[in-house]
Amino acid sequence: MTILIWIIQLFFVPVISPLIIGVIKKIKAKFQNRQGSSIFQFYKDLWKLMYKDEVVSKDASWIFLYAPFIIFTVTIAVGASIPLFASFLNGPTSDLLVIVYIMAISTFFLSLAGMDTGSAFGGFGSSREMTISALAEGGLIFSLLTVALVSSSTNVFIISGINILTHSQHLLSIMLAFIGFFIILLAETTRFPFDNPSTHLELTMIHEAMILEYSGKRLALMEWASANKLIIFIALGSNLFFPLGIAQNISWLALVIGIIVFLLKILFFSTIIAILESSVAKFRFFRLPDLLITSFILNVIAIVLIN
Amino acid sequence: MLEIITPSVSFFVLLSIFFIGAISSLIYQKNDSIANFLSSFFSIIGSLCGLFFSVSMIIYGKNLSFIINYPYSSFFKISFHIDLLSAFFIFIISLISLFCSIYGVGYLKHFYKKYSIGVFGFFYNLLIGSLLLVVTASNGIFFLIAWEIMSISSYFLVVYDRYDTDNIKAGFLYLIMTYVGTVFIILSFLFIYKYIGSFEFIDIKSGISLIPLSIKNNIFIFTIIGFGTKAGIIPFHIWLPAAHPAAPSHVSALMSGVMIKTGVYMMIRLFVDILQPIPVWWGILILIIGSISSLLGVLYALTEHDIKRLLAFHSIENIGIILLGLGSALIFYSLNMPELALLGLMASLFHTLNHAIFKSLLFLSAGSVINEMHTRNIEEYGGIIKYMPQTAMFFLIGSMAISALPPFNGFFSEWLTYQALFQGVAQLNLSFQGIFIIAASSLAFTGGLALTCFVKAFGIIFLARPRSTKVSSIKESPLSMRIGMGFLALMSILFGLFSGYTSRLLEKIGKDLSIFKDTNYFTSASFYQGIDIKNSFASVSAPIIFVVLIIIIFAVIFIFTFVINKNQKIKIENTWGCGLNLNKRAEITATGFARSIILVFKGILKPSIQNEVEYHDADSRYLPKSRVITIHVKNIYNYYFYQPLRNIINIISLKTKNIQSGNINAYISYIFISLIIALLSVL
């Protein structure tokens, strides 16, 4: 049975992730008084892209060709090593620093792939992406460190196993750290107010600029990986800061509840992101560091408040 | 074999190999290829012996000391003491010099007929030999002699390419800085001698309680300035970005990978071993220096577009990370937490080893590119991955290791450093906690910024289209250079994979120091489990990360290439350029790439932008013909520290010039006055 749970754990992220993109798009469409596409549209898009031929730039090297596989691999590996619906699966790659730095591999190759074709869009996308992710790293590590200190372990499964909300004396720290984490979530998953995921050819675009030269299968993998990354961050945010309903032991009932609760959490987070994207304007690029530094400072305050 | 040859003899054999290498290449300097062969042969053999010697010392866990008495002086003795810490540094020196020497066989060929290879071989072997002396000497005076041989031989290697006047200037700056540092080291040894009456490290250690605290604090400040100058901590770093680019690439690798580590070695030797017990603020100061050096080092690296200067600034950053580990170790020990102190020391030793490996790898692969392109300006590179695929691969591995990406070695030492700092945040009271939060956050930001910097470096050098016509005529480097780089890349992977086993050995090395004799381990390490922090706070396992990533990536590639839509056609086309012909001007430049992050940190970096526009018609000024934009970063150390210092020295010199009037009567009166003062002070 443990093997079965591991298989569910491994495939959960890539299977569910296109759905969230659909849900967020649907909610945004409702806000704009549109019918919107079906919430399963992203699955169809992936399928369509997989079966198309590809165009690759003649300037590209193997970095461009293999980056989508590396990035997708990273999201699968990280998705399998974080708590999704069960907290008892103790993965050996579940240390928070390991997770943060493995995700940095995908940022590294994404940015290199953006530069590889020699297009001006890709280069500037990479430059912006690296600027944001360099500044986001401090906030990310520190917000996860806050919950790690409260539960005195840096293993994300152990953190999710201890219901930190019962440590009522640390509630303020945890909430501050969560706000900090949420800002990082928006930055790392290229959402408003950091980036606009639904536009192309805007002067300010970041993620879409880097993957502009991709087509076919590789574009599908890039888009899919970015959806996986969104679900990874939602899982970290919901299961480390609010570990309610997560399965604590091996029983079918607990697991089913765990999966349902996790899906509800995802829905909740997608709704918040969709509301945010419908109500906030994108920030000017040089105002983004302020937001990221705010996140970092909130986390520092949270850590100081723990003792 | 070790039982047959006594260790002290084998150590002298080791030193004499480098000496023979130095002398013989000088003798045969008339013939470049023989001199190159001799110098490389002896340095390779010597490094191999050094590796064998140090590894057996570490595995057998023996200490070794021997003294050759020098009959004419009571305080100068040629005395060696090789404990596991020294053996560890011998290991690093031999490892790096081995691969640098192999690389040098091919690299030196382009100096043939231009400069004397024999002279190079002489100083090169002398440098490696003196490095070995520095980490084993156990007498203050003897140590200073070894230190001077090291400084001078490296100076001559820096100015080896002497037809370039910039190199001469860089060498001069290096010489001045290194002598300023040495003055402070001499001062601190003299202070110690005044109270202990001996230069022997063992005597100093046993009699350390004789030194009053205020004097000890002075000694600390002097040694921090002295050894910090060699290690390249900010603000004494200014020689590093000047001297490293000037030297031949494998010498830069040796200097950056190994020579600056002798400063770290002496800090560990003095603060952890000899001068204990120490007040807690020493550790705090080192931690703060480490935070500043790591953060500012990487920020300055981002502004550079000279590849070797960029790497030199990264050396400053990494010395900062090493000092974060060392500083936390000192604080923990002063606060009576020896287990955590051992963890911090382990982290700093591990990072010392790792930085030596990946930084020399980066310098060597940068050197291969420079060797073909004949310029260090990365704005003129571009697309080199197609012409030098193997060098590109090695540089990529080095970049990933220095950016602390798993599963390469850099990640595991940074992980240990993080753990030491996290423990400080978790266990100490508020005032110390603040310091550790600053240190941990500087490490976190440093990690992100280093990643940015190496995306910039790798992307601009190797990817996209060539930015100058020179690129199309370059070819892959010769075999010996690729072997040197390849083995270092392999080391970078192996020390990542075997990080558990390595940290086990590092604990053993730490426990060999007298203050950690009775300390329990705070970590447990094995090959499969990797490194575990006690109380199950954290654990990391390199082999599992390896296996997980490799299995998943092969599965992903297999599924998406051979299962789904396997008949997919790939068409090779031009990059989309909005309908325009893309040329090199459409690509992003290194300056442009780093511009946004420089502007974010403009408070620290103080960038100035120069805009030169040339118009088609100078009177109407509507249609610009060409624009040149230069972004400069103000050298605030020169501006606020070194320049005023120089002015003060100039003023004082001018004032003192007045007493030198040229009048003999005045000079006689000076003698008379000083005689009277001397008499009065005696009476």
Q: Where are the domains of chain B?
A: 598-634, 640-682
Predicted complex ipTM: 0.95
Quick check: B527 pLDDT over 80? no
Segment B20-40 mean pLDDT: 90
Quick check: B631 pLDDT over 80? no
What is the pLDDT at residue B2? 44
pTM: 0.94
How many structural domains does chain A have? 1
Segment B499-510 mean pLDDT: 88
Closest A-chain CA to B588: A123
What is the pLDDT at residue A141? 93
Segment B621-639 mean pLDDT: 80
Q: Which of A198, A65, A13, A296 is nearest to B552 (CA)?
A: A13
Q: Please provide the average confidence, as pLDDT, over all residues in chain B.
A: 89
Task: Work out the pLDDT band at B532, boundaries 50, 70, 90.
Answer: confident
CB contact under 8 A, B462 and A111: no
* CA distances from residue A22 to A189, A231, A268, B637 in whole angstroms, order as listed: 15, 13, 14, 54
Segment A106-126 mean pLDDT: 91
Burial (CB count within 10 angstroms: exposed 0-12, middle 13-18, buried 19+), residue B612: exposed
The interface residues of chain A toward chain B in range 165-194, judged by CB-CB distance below 8 A, are none
Dist CA B379 CA B396 (whole Å):
18
CB contact under 8 A, A142 and B569: no
Contacts B598 to A, Cβ<8 Å = none
Quick check: B479 pLDDT over 80? yes
Which structural domain range is residue A262 located in?
2-306
CB contact under 8 A, A127 and B460: no
Phi, psi of B570 (to 5 degrees): -115, 125
Closest B-chain CA to A66: B557
pLDDT tens digits for range A21-41:
999 999 999 999 999 899 999
pLDDT tens digits for range B643-661:
999 999 999 999 988 888 7
Contacts B444 to A, Cβ<8 Å = 137-138, 141-142
What is the pLDDT at residue B29? 85
Identity of the residue in B405, B452, B575 whose CB atom sits nearest the CB atom of A119: B575
CA distance A103 to chain B (A): 9
Quick check: B4 pLDDT over 70? no
The answer for residues whose C-beta is within 8 angstroms of residue B512's C-beta and 6 or more apart is B61, B63, B83, B84, B85
What is the pLDDT at residue A204? 64
Segment A216-245 mean pLDDT: 92
Whether residue B359 contacts residue B253, with contact meaning beta carbons closer than 8 Å, is answered with yes
Q: Please provide the average confidence, as pLDDT, over all residues in chain A.
A: 89
Quick check: B9 pLDDT over 50? yes
CA distance A267 to chain B (A): 28
What is the pLDDT at residue B3? 47
DSSP character for B521? P
- Between A and B, how many residue pairs show a Cβ–Cβ distance under 8 A? 247
Q: For the ranges A287-291, B174-178, B241-245, B580-584, which has the lowest average pLDDT?
A: B580-584
pLDDT tens digits for range B124-165:
999 999 999 999 999 999 999 999 999 999 999 999 988 888
CA distance B4 to chain A (A): 45
Whether residue B395 contacts residue B295, with contact meaning beta carbons closer than 8 Å, is answered with no
What is the number of alpha carbons within 13 Å of residue B560 lying toward its C-beta? 26
State the CB neighbour count (10 A cutoff) for residue B494: 14
Dist CA B286 CA B292 (whole Å):
10
Dist CA B320 CA B232 (whole Å):
9
Task: Work out the pLDDT band at B482, boundaries 50, 70, 90.
Answer: very high
CA distance B425 to chain A (A): 8
Whether residue A88 contacts residue A247, with contact meaning beta carbons closer than 8 Å, is answered with yes
CB contact under 8 A, B575 and A131: no
pLDDT tens digits for range A268-278:
999 999 999 88
Segment A273-290 mean pLDDT: 88
The interface residues of chain B toward chain A in range 416-435, judged by CB-CB distance below 8 A, are 418, 422, 425-426, 429-430, 433-434
Quick check: B439 pLDDT over 50? yes
Dist CA B137 CA A159 (whole Å):
49
What is the pLDDT at residue B46? 94
CB contact under 8 A, B539 and A155: yes
A76: left (phi over 0), alpha (psi -120 to 50) or beta: alpha
Q: Which of B409, B440, B359 is nearest to B545 (CA)?
A: B409
Please name the helix (run of DSSP H) or strand (run of DSSP E) that holds residue B364, with its range, or none.
Answer: helix B338-373
Q: What length is written for chain A?
A: 307
State the CB neighbour count (10 A cutoff) for residue A260: 12
Identity of the residue in B405, B452, B530 whose CB atom sits nearest the CB atom of A134: B452
DSSP track, B546-592: HHHHHHHHHHHHHIIIIITTTT--EEEEPPP-TTSPP-GGGSPPHHH
Contacts A303 to B, Cβ<8 Å = 425, 437
What is the pLDDT at residue B302? 92
Quick check: B271 pLDDT over 50? yes
